[in-house]
Each structure stands twice: as structure tokens, then as C-alpha cells.
């Protein structure tokens, strides 16, 4: 009887793999709670990892609690809902006031396509490690630092890689304050970081209302595959700016966004089961994710430096780093790094333009890859 009782416990079934995953979960909790690295993302993700790696619970089975919630990931429901909330929370004014920001947002997406090429060329038979074009595209999208877009594209092209790619995408989003400053300092001089930009013009409400409609029209016609993301992003922004739907805008920004963030965080973390996560492929994806994020940041900065050679009105190249989609984390990092060189220089609003453009750019990049490979 005692033997049967022992065999029914998780202690008899736990292996070193689950213990490693527990350690990873605890480390992420430490970063979220004590270091305050994007706790709204890392706390749910890390606790999801913790819950999913208890043996014999069935919590991620098809009829388990997290397994049921995970259907929102597999079916591509959560990403557009998150984009709806992001649109309702985001002021597109800095982008409208400085259209050149679109170039920086587009430039940062170069990291997606560079990583796509790198991943597609990996072929290591000894480790049984290679990636199809669909898998390589899903890995490349990590460069956008946009978890919902990564989930959306991967669920369509390479669902078998959804767990490591989703964890990598959200982890690197949370680690923006650690990774980006090193690239920014490496690629810019102190004088460049001190460049002051002219104050942005005031954007009218009419412009803010027309903008989401025009962007939806063009993206829907030119890249139809991007419409689920771009359409909900712009719808959320229209709720914010039109002035007659404050209750809906408030709900999208708060109740809806908070609920979906909890579901996504828990289920993304819970997808990181020990038997599938601790593999050569997953480790490679995590490494490629870091490379892709560095490439995206570098592309934005380098294009900003190139623009300074072309245009008379100089821009601070640091804002090019905000071209990745981590809104508003990247913009805040630009502000912090800029003020380290000049405490009286305020770059936050200037960085929000490329930051918002990066959200649009990563969704369009995902639409292009889906149209080509889907």
C-alpha cells in the first residue's frame, strides 16, 4: 500500500529535467519580482513554466485547465486581442508628426529577414538539427520583439515550435532593458547620443482618426495576411482617438488587455514542458532569438546613422533602436541611455514614433512571410 501511495505522488515521477525547468521558472520569477524586469509578462510566464512541469497533473492535456486556455494560442485568438489592446493604449501622434519614423521601424525588421536566412542555412545532421523555411521564418519573427506576432505567425507556419519561440519572444521582450543598451552603446558615439531633436508638431484629432483607417486600408489591400493583426491594432487605436467610444477604449486598455495577458503568459509558459523544451533545437532557437534581437536593434541604429548623412535635420541614432516592437519598453530604454550622456536630453516622444512603426512593421513582415510560405 505504501509503495502504491509513493508511486501515485509526483516525487516518484520527477526527473532532472523537471528540476531544471523549476530552476528556470524560479530564476525568471526572481528577475520579474526583485529585478522588476517586465513583471506583467515574466510573472505569468514563469509561473506557467512552474505549473506545467509537475509530473502527472494533466494540467496541459486537452481537457486540462491550461490545455483549454492554450487553444486561444493555437487558434490565433489571443494575438489579435492583444493588438486591439495595444492599439487602444498607444498614441500614434509621434509617428504621424514625424513620418521618417516609418523608415526606422521598417529598418529594424531587417533583423527578422536576416535571422530567417541564418536559420534556414543551419544543417547539423549530428545533432539532427535543421529548419525548414517555415520554421526559419517563425524563428526570424522573434527579432520583432513582439510576442503576439511571433505566436500568430508560428501557429500558422510551424506550430511544433510554438513553445520555444513564444517563450523566447516574450523573454527577450522582457529583457529589452538588458540587451538593447549594450548594442546602442557599441554602435553610437557619445556625441551622437547627445544629439537633440526638434520638438514634434502637435497632431490634430482629425489626423489621428484618419490614420488608423488609412493604414488598415493600405495594409489590407497590399498585405492581406497582415490584416488580423493590423486591423485589430488600428481598430483599438480608433476607439482611443475617435472620442465617442471611451468605455470601449477603456475596456480594451484595461480589462481585456489584462485578462488576455494573464492567459497568454500562463499558457506560453505552460507550453515549455521539460521533455520538449530541453533539446538542442530549443537551445538553438533561444540563441537565434538573441542574435535576431541584436540584429534588429543594430539595423535600426545603423539606418538612423545613414539618414543623418542624407537629411539635413539630424536625428539621434539611439531612437533607431526603438524600431523593434517592444512598446513602450524600447522607447523608455532609449530615454534612459540618452540621458546617461546628456541628462537634459528628452528622447522618449521621439523614440515612440519608431516604436509604434515597429509594431506595424513586424505585423506586415509576418503577413509577408505568411503570404509567401503559408
Contact call for residues 323 and 355 (beta carbons, < 8 A): yes
Distance CA 309, CA 321 (A): 18
As a whole-number percent, the residues of the chain with pLDDT over 90 amount to 69
Place of cell 506586415: 364
| Nearest C-alpha neighbor of 284 from the set 84, 135, 99, 91 | 135
Per the structure block, which three cell numbers stand in for 39?
A: 513583471
Strands 129-130 and 123-124: antiparallel
Place of cell 537629411: 311
Q: Running DSSP on this structure, what letter comes out for residue 10?
A: G
Which segment of 3-7, 75-79, 215-219 scores lowest on mean pLDDT? 3-7
Average the pLDDT over 96-120 and give the result.
Answer: 93
344-360 burial: b if 16+ Cβ within 10 Å, else e:
ebebbbbbbbbbbbbbb
The most confident of the ranges 79-83, 281-285, 323-327, 370-374 is: 79-83
Check pLDDT > 90 for residue 325.
Answer: no
As a whole-number percent, the residues of the chain with pLDDT over 70 amount to 99
* pLDDT reported for residue 279: 86
Structurally, the chain folds into a number of domains equal to: 1
Q: Across-strand partners of 123?
A: 130
Check pLDDT > 90 for residue 357.
Answer: yes
Per the structure block, which three cell numbers stand in for 280?
A: 538542442
CA dihedral of residues 278, 32, 61, 258 (deg, nearest 10): -140
* pLDDT reported for residue 9: 73
Distance CA 255, CA 258 (A): 5
Check pLDDT > 90 for residue 117.
Answer: yes
Instruction: Provide the CB-side half-sphere exposure for 302 (13 A, CA).
Output: 13
Contact call for residues 215 and 234 (beta carbons, < 8 A): yes
pLDDT digits (tens, 9 = 90+) for 42-98: 899 999 999 999 988 889 888 899 999 999 988 889 999 999 999 999 999 999 999
| Nearest C-alpha neighbor of 50 from the set 69, 31, 73, 24 | 24
Check pLDDT > 90 for residue 226.
Answer: yes
Q: Running DSSP on this structure, what letter comes out for residue 13?
A: T
* pLDDT reported for residue 178: 84
Q: Running DSSP on this structure, what letter comes out for residue 353?
A: H
pLDDT digits (tens, 9 = 90+) for 148-185: 999 999 989 998 898 889 888 887 877 788 889 999 99
pTM of the predicted structure, to 2 decimals: 0.90
Domain interval for residue 313: 2-373
Amino acid at each position: 500500500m505504501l509503495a502504491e501511495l509513493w508511486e501515485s505522488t509526483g516525487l516518484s515521477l520527477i526527473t532532472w529535467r523537471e528540476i531544471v525547468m523549476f530552476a528556470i521558472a524560479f530564476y525568471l520569477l526572481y528577475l520579474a519580482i526583485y529585478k522588476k524586469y517586465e513583471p506583467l509578462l515574466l510573472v505569468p510566464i514563469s509561473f506557467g513554466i512552474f505549473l506545467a512541469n509537475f509530473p502527472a497533473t494533466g494540467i496541459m492535456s486537452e481537457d486540462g485547465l491550461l490545455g483549454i486556455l492554450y487553444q486561444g494560442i493555437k487558434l490565433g485568438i489571443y494575438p489579435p486581442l492583444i493588438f486591439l489592446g495595444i492599439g487602444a493604449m498607444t498614441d500614434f501622434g509621434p509617428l504621424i508628426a514625424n513620418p521618417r519614423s516609418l523608415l526606422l521601424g521598417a529598418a529594424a525588421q531587417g533583423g527578422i529577414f536576416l535571422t530567417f536566412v541564418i536559420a534556414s542555412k543551419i544543417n547539423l545532421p549530428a545533432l539532427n538539427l535543421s529548419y525548414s523555411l517555415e520554421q526559419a521564418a517563425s524563428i526570424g519573427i522573434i527579432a520583432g520583439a513582439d510576442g503576439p506576432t511571433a505566436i500568430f505567425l508560428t501557429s500558422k507556419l510551424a506550430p511544433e515550435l510554438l513553445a520555444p519561440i513564444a517563450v523566447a519572444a516574450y523573454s527577450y521582450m522582457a529583457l529589452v532593458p538588458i540587451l538593447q543598451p549594450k548594442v546602442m552603446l557599441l554602435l553610437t558615439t557619445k556625441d551622437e547620443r547627445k544629439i537633440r531633436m526638434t520638438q514634434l508638431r502637435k497632431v490634430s484629432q482629425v489626423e489621428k482618426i484618419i490614420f488608423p483607417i488609412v493604414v488598415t486600408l493600405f495594409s489590407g489591400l497590399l498585405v492581406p495576411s497582415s490584416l488580423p493583426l493590423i486591423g485589430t491594432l488600428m481598430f483599438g487605436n480608433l476607439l482611443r482617438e475617435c472620442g465617442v467610444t471611451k468605455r470601449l477604449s477603456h475596456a480594451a486598455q484595461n480589462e481585456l488587455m489584462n485578462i488576455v495577458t494573464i492567459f497568454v503568459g500562463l499558457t506560453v509558459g505552460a507550453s515549455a514542458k521539460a521533455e520538449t523544451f530541453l533539446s538542442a533545437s530549443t537551445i538553438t532557437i533561444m540563441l537565434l532569438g538573441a542574435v535576431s534581437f541584436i540584429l534588429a536593434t543594430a539595423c535600426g541604429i545603423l539606418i538612423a546613422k545613414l539618414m543623418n548623412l542624407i537629411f539635413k535635420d539630424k536625428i539621434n541614432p539611439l531612437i533607431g533602436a526603438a524600431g523593434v516592437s517592444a512598446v513602450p519598453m524600447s522607447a523608455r530604454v532609449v530615454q534612459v541611455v540618452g540621458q546617461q550622456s546628456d541628462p537634459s536630453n528628452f528622447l522618449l516622444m521621439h523614440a515612440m514614433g519608431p516604436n509604434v512603426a515597429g509594431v506595424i512593421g513586424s505585423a506586415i513582415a509576418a503577413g509577408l512571410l505568411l503570404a509567401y510560405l503559408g
